[in-house]
Amino acid sequence: MLITACRWAMPTHRRTGEGGAGKIEQLNMVGKRSGEGIVTHRATMVNVLSRGLADRLMLMDFTIGRKGLLNYIRSLAGSNIVKIVPSSNGNASDDADCPRQRLKIVCGSYQSYLDDMAWCDDKTAYTAAEVRFTSANTITPNIGNVELAEAIARVLPFTATEDARPVLQNVLFEASEGKLKLVAADGFTLAEAVLDLDIGSDEAVRVLIDRTSLRPIPSALRKAKRVRVSFGKAGDTLDGMMMYVDTEVSRYKFMSSTGQYPDYAKVIPTEFSCRAHLDTQETLKAVLALKATSEDAKGYAVDLTIGGGKMIMANPDERGEAVINADSGEDCGIVRLNGKYLADALKALGGMTDLNLNRAYDPVMLTADGLRVLIMPIASPKANEQQRADRGEVETESTADADVEIAEEADAEVTAEVDIEAIEAAAEIDAELEAVEAGEEQPEPPKRRARGRKAVAVA
């Protein structure tokens, strides 16, 4: 049971955009016009088609299967030039009055005719890319291609997979003050990557991009030479936003999902009492070894005890224990984490990482190379002890205030009782005086009603 969780109130949202998941791909191919057709280099065509992500191409008003066309162009030989021409030529069996519209592809002595929906069937995914031919395609990069690819790949595993929290199924892209932040969270872990970005504006921009749209992007960006990220309004909508990722051969358009992303900055600690510098690979091996000895391979917990230049990792039921070197000084910290969350964080970080923690029930932060990952702890005896101690300080103050209020109420009751007795005594005295003056026999004073009082112990 998690004693604290990165769970916020999730507003509902809907995914909007074209291309199914909000992604529109555009392939820019360098070529020249030749009559009604296009002439391009075969190697250029192979390069562009191999870097495409969509399964269907919109080429000169025809829909062609990308993989089938790519394999066909690769198989051509005899010339480095490919010519593509819309053709209405038919064969002997075609109706002369109604010729078939096809694409004619010529490469040296090879030529072929492609019908609409060639290499497309019911199993071909409905993802489309528009092919455009340009004399040249140059872009001014504003971010590193490898850096952006790595950042997307590192935060994607921390997005939510549950449909009950649709907002957390997106990655938050936030551009401001020359930085681009990528944030992903699933309710129990949170990852934030920060990159340098020059967008020429100081105005902050936030977009939510669905995780399924981003999944194939890292592999495509690693092949690119130049990358540019920009943002703009989405068509005629009032508040819709688009994110554009341009490379020298392609453009990707992402429609921002609607919804309000939680204020994740509130759950990120600013102070830590214990820090440790450790090797992620060595730590990951220890976590996997403890997983093998745990009864629950999916929800297993790991206790971390840091101090004295080492970190002791153990199963809560004392089935296994591992000790690794950690540059932590003499500071000591104890926390219990979900082993799977810890393993996922170590895989994303890689290399050397800094582990920061405060109290046993506070989030643990791991940082390395512009990426920081937050993991929420699991309940443990140490965490419960620290929580009770912290609550005890608060309870003492509240108890003192309550005691003051009770004392004031008691004083008010005593004062009221005394006043009533004084009034009754004064009335009795007045009655006696009147009787004496009138010469009447003084009546016996009425017996005063006994009041219930608590016994008081005396020494």
Higher pLDDT, 3 or 207: 207
The pLDDT value recorded for residue 34 is 84
Please say if the pLDDT value at position 406 is more than 50.
Answer: no
The pLDDT value recorded for residue 449 is 46
Higher pLDDT, 292 or 88: 292
The pLDDT value recorded for residue 115 is 93
What's the mean pLDDT in 287-291? Answer: 94
Q: Look at the domain 145-264 and name its fold.
A: DNA Polymerase III; Chain A, domain 2 (3.10.150)
Lowest mean pLDDT among 48-52, 150-154, 384-388, 411-415: 411-415
Per DSSP, which regions of 227-280 are E strands? Answer: 227-233, 241-247, 250-255, 274-279
Contact partners, residue 94, CB within 8 Å, separation at least 6: 100
Strand partners, 251: 26, 246
The pLDDT value recorded for residue 137 is 75
Contact 25, 53 (CB under 8 A): yes
Q: How far is CA 187 from CA 6, 32, 160, 308, in A?
A: 5, 52, 7, 33
The pLDDT value recorded for residue 15 is 42
Contact 336, 379 (CB under 8 A): yes
Q: What is the pLDDT of residues 97-147, one digit of tens each?
A: 556 789 999 998 899 999 999 999 999 998 899 999 888 778 899 999 999
Q: How far apart are the first and last CA of the chain?
A: 54
Determine what percent of the chain is predicted with pLDDT higher than 90: 53
Cα separation, 273 vs 280, whole angstroms: 21
Highest mean pLDDT: which of 5-14, 22-31, 47-56, 134-143? 47-56
What's the mean pLDDT in 292-302? Answer: 87
What's the mean pLDDT in 295-323? Answer: 90
Please say if the pLDDT value at position 298 is more than 90.
Answer: no
What's the mean pLDDT in 300-322? Answer: 92
Q: Residue ranges per domain, the chain? A: 32-134, 145-264, 268-379
Q: Look at the domain 32-134 and name its fold.
A: DNA Polymerase III; Chain A, domain 2 (3.10.150)
Lowest mean pLDDT among 144-148, 263-267, 345-349: 263-267
Determine what percent of the chain is predicted with pLDDT higher than 70: 76
The pLDDT value recorded for residue 376 is 95
The pLDDT value recorded for residue 426 is 52
Please say if the pLDDT value at position 262 is more than 80.
Answer: yes
Please say if the pLDDT value at position 243 is more than 50.
Answer: yes
Contact 363, 356 (CB under 8 A): no
Cα separation, 239 vs 234, whole angstroms: 8
Residue 275 CA neighbour count, 13 Å, CB half = 7
Contact 331, 307 (CB under 8 A): yes
Cα separation, 358 vs 275, whole angstroms: 9
Higher pLDDT, 343 or 408: 343
The pLDDT value recorded for residue 157 is 95
Please say if the pLDDT value at position 317 is more than 80.
Answer: yes
What's the mean pLDDT in 276-303? Answer: 92
Higher pLDDT, 425 or 344: 344
* pTM attached to this predicted model: 0.75
The pLDDT value recorded for residue 403 is 46
Q: What are phi and psi of 192, to 5 degrees?
A: -135, 125
Contact partners, residue 282, CB within 8 Å, separation at least 6: 324, 325
- Cβ neighbours around 19 below 10 Å, total: 18
- Cβ neighbours around 151 below 10 Å, total: 26
Q: What is the pLDDT of residues 172-185, one digit of tens each?
A: 999 998 999 999 99
> Nearest 5 degrees, angle CA 286-CA 292-CA 294?
105
Higher pLDDT, 278 or 240: 278
The pLDDT value recorded for residue 407 is 41
Banded pLDDT at 405 (limits 50, 70, 90): low
Cα separation, 79 vs 109, whole angstroms: 8
Exposed/middle/buried for 359, CB within 10 Å: 0-12, 13-18, 19+? buried
Exposed/middle/buried for 25, CB within 10 Å: 0-12, 13-18, 19+? buried
Please say if the pLDDT value at position 450 is more than 50.
Answer: no
Banded pLDDT at 402 (limits 50, 70, 90): very low
* Mean residue pLDDT across the chain: 81
The verdict on domain 268-379 having CATH code 3.20.20.70 is no
Please say if the pLDDT value at position 459 is more than 50.
Answer: no
Higher pLDDT, 424 or 196: 196
What's the mean pLDDT in 360-382? Answer: 93
Higher pLDDT, 311 or 24: 311
DSSP code per residue over 42-82: HHHHHHHHHT---SEEEETTEEEEHHHHHHHHHH--S-SEE
DSSP code per residue over 368-416: ETTEEEEE--B--HHHHHHHHHHHHHHHHHHHHHHHHHHHHHHHHHHHH
Token duo for residue 421: 């007795």
Q: What is the pLDDT of residues 73-111, one digit of tens each?
A: 999 987 899 999 998 755 544 455 556 789 999 998 899
The pLDDT value recorded for residue 439 is 56
DSSP state of 298: S
Buried b (16+ CB within 10 A) or exposed e, 109-142: eeeeebeeebbbeeebeebbbebebeeebebebb
The pLDDT value recorded for residue 96 is 52
Lowest mean pLDDT among 155-164, 235-244, 445-454: 445-454
Contact partners, residue 297, CB within 8 Å, separation at least 6: 291
Banded pLDDT at 424 (limits 50, 70, 90): low
